[in-house]
Structure formats: structure tokens, C-alpha cells
Structure 1
């Protein structure tokens, strides 16, 4: 079935998120209480709500998106390229720009969105943050009333599960076992908050996010049994 999908009809994506505020004490009192309730199960008694706040970026209700990177294949005869671009900075602006991309270029039924663990994280996170920012959901993220086979989403982690719903495999591990060269990354997901708030280096985050998009595309190619992208085929636009 994967072989039947036209690679040019897939938009690969990844997002990077951080806590809504730089520090716990910057939240108002009601939000602090709500954070304490929301995080209680995960942190148990090991951390105070304040100590656990570094991880707030994983929840759309307490975090925000600082970067959305996308990538797509383009074929001209025998020439194959994979083009990447990113939207970053002010959340409302980047969400509107991403929505415009979907509405303008990837709105037709033939187009699919693809990410790693995206059905559990990226897709719902983007949709929730759009609603919070009072942005109308684009067709590709509006799942209300859609039947499962009508949802235009692909997930490389789900494809790797082969029906095993208990299985979780990180993108880094999947790339390793599939023989995909590991991109040279100077940060990982646990460092994004620090790089954003303390180092204020959004360019490092963008680079990291785009490399994950490329790796997701490489995993998809490997799952299809196709040749991996070479460095010269990857273009930043």
C-alpha cells in the first residue's frame, strides 16, 4: 500500500514546543493550580509542580509551538529533491503561515500529512494551539465527523508498530536500526526549552526540527524499500 502513495503528495512535518511561560512563577495563580492538577499523575511525589514545569511544553494547554518544519518531495524526470522550510517565532504568526500552506498547496484530498508519533503529538498539538489562538482549523487538521479512513494522516511510528499498539520507538532509534545515517544534531528534544528561553537561539531549534523532518522522510523511504536521500538532494527553501 505504501508503494501506491505518490511521494509528491506527502507533506512531512515536525514541531518543537516549549512551556507557555519561561518560569512557573510567571503563571497566574489559577494556571498554577491547574498545572498542579494536570501534572499530578506524571510527576507523582518526586517533583513539585514548579520543578516539573520544565516539561510543560509537551501539553498544548500549557505549552506553545516555536517551530513547525515541513518537507516535501519534488521530481523532475530522474531528478529527485526533498525541500524543507520552517515557520518559527511568534506562535500565532507561524500557525497562520502553516495554515496558509495547507490551504493553498496541500488542501486537495490526494495530499497527506506525515510525521513520527504525529498522530499522538504533532497533529493534535497543532490543532489545539490553533483553536487556542482562535485560528480556524485547516481541512487537513479538522477531524470532526471524519471516518478513520478519511483522516489524511500518516505516522511512521504507527507504520512501524504493525498493529502492536503497546509499542513505542523513537525516531532516533528507528533511524539507527534501519541504517539511516544519524544527522549531526547539537541538541535534542529535552534541550529545546533551554535553547529557546535561556540561549534565545531559535536558529538551532529550526535546524534540529528540519533534521527530524528529513529523518522522518528517510524512514518512510526505507519502509517503502527505496533508496535514501543523498545530501545533495536535500534543499532548504
Structure 2
């Protein structure tokens, strides 16, 4: 089935998130209490709620999206291109731009969204932040009433599981074992909060996010046993 999919019908994506506030102390008292309760199981007694707040960006209730990068294939004759673009900055505005892209260009039944660990993180996170920001969900993110086989989402981590529900493989590890050349990265996910709030370098985060989109597409090609993208085929728009 994977081999039958038209690559031009797939929108590859990745998101970068940070805590809603730079520091735990910046939260109001009620939100601090909610965070303490929400994070209790994960942090146990090893960290205080304040110390654990560094990780608040992974929860949509306490984080926000600062970048959504997307990529899609185009072809003309024997020529193949992978176009990459990003929406970043103020959350409400970037969510509106991403929703507009879905509604205008990826709104047909044949269109699919693809991300690494997207079903556990990217897709629900975007949907939750849209609801929190008072937005109606686009069709591709509104799963209510859909049967599992009608959900228009692909997940490269799930594809790699091959039915193993316990297995987790990072995008970086998967790219490594599949022999996909690793681009030179000057940061990783754990650094996003510091780069955003302390260094105020959103451009660096956007570049990092776009690299993950390209890597996700490369993994997908490898799972189909197809030729990887060359640097000349990757276009930033």
C-alpha cells in the first residue's frame, strides 16, 4: 500500500514548541498548581515543578507552537523537487497560515499528512492549540467520527514499528540506521526553549525544523526503497 501512494499528495511536517512562558515563576498561581499536578507522574520526586518546567513545551496545555515547517513533492517529467516552507512567529497567525494551506492545497480525500511521531505529538498538538486559540479545526485534523482507516495521517515512526506497539525510535536514530546522510545541525530539541527565550534566535529554530521535515521525507522514501533526495532537489520557498 505504501508504494501505491502518490508522493505529491503527501504534506510532510514538523513542529517546534516551547513553554508558554520563559520561566515557571511567570505563570499565575493557578497555572502553577495545574502544572504541578499535570507533571507529577513524569517528574516524580526527582525534580521540583519549577525545575521540570523546562519540558513544559511538550504539553499543548502548557506550551505553544513557534514554528510549523512543511515539505511537499512536485514533479515535472523526470524532474523531482521537494519544496520546503515554514510558518513561524506568533502562534495564532502561524496556525491560521497553516490552516489556510490545508484548506486551499491539501483538502482532498487523497491528501495525507505525514510526520515522525506525528500521531502522538504533532497532529494532536496542532489540533489542541487551534482549539485553545478559538479556531475551527480543518478537515485533516478533525478526527471526530472518522474510522481508523479514514484518518488522513501517516507516521514514519509508526511505519517503522511494523506492529510493535512498544517500540520508540527517534528520527535521528532511524535516519542513521537507514543510511540517510545526517545534515549538520547546531542544535537539538532540548535546546529549542533556550534558543527561543534566551538567544531570541527564531531563524535558527526554523532551520532546525526544516531539516527534520527533509529527514522525515527521506525516511519515507527509504521505506519505499526509493532514491533519496539530493541537495539540488530540495528547494526552500
Q: Structure 2-normalised TM-score?
A: 1.00
Partner of 2:150: 150
Partner of 2:114: 114
Correspondence 1:49-198 to 2 at 5 A: 49-198=49-198
Partner of 1:213: 213
Q: How far off its partner does 1:113 sit?
A: 0.1
Distance 1:87 1:200 in 2: 17
Q: How far off its partner does 1:22 sit?
A: 0.5
- Secondary structure, aligned partner of 2:179: coil
Q: How far off its partner does 1:227 sit?
A: 0.2
- Secondary structure, aligned partner of 2:199: coil
Distance 1:66 1:193 in 2: 10
Deviation per CA, 1:64-113: give whole Å up to 9, x if none: 00000000000000000000000000000000000000000000100000
- Secondary structure, aligned partner of 2:39: helix
Distance 2:222 2:13 in 1: 17
Distance 1:193 1:17 in 2: 8
Aligned length in residues: 237
Runs of 4+ in 1 over 2 A off after TM superposition: none
Q: Mark the runs of 5 or more structure 1 residues left unpaired by the alignment.
A: none
Q: How far off its partner does 1:122 sit?
A: 0.1
Partner of 2:39: 39
- Secondary structure, aligned partner of 2:15: strand
Distance 2:202 2:112 in 1: 28
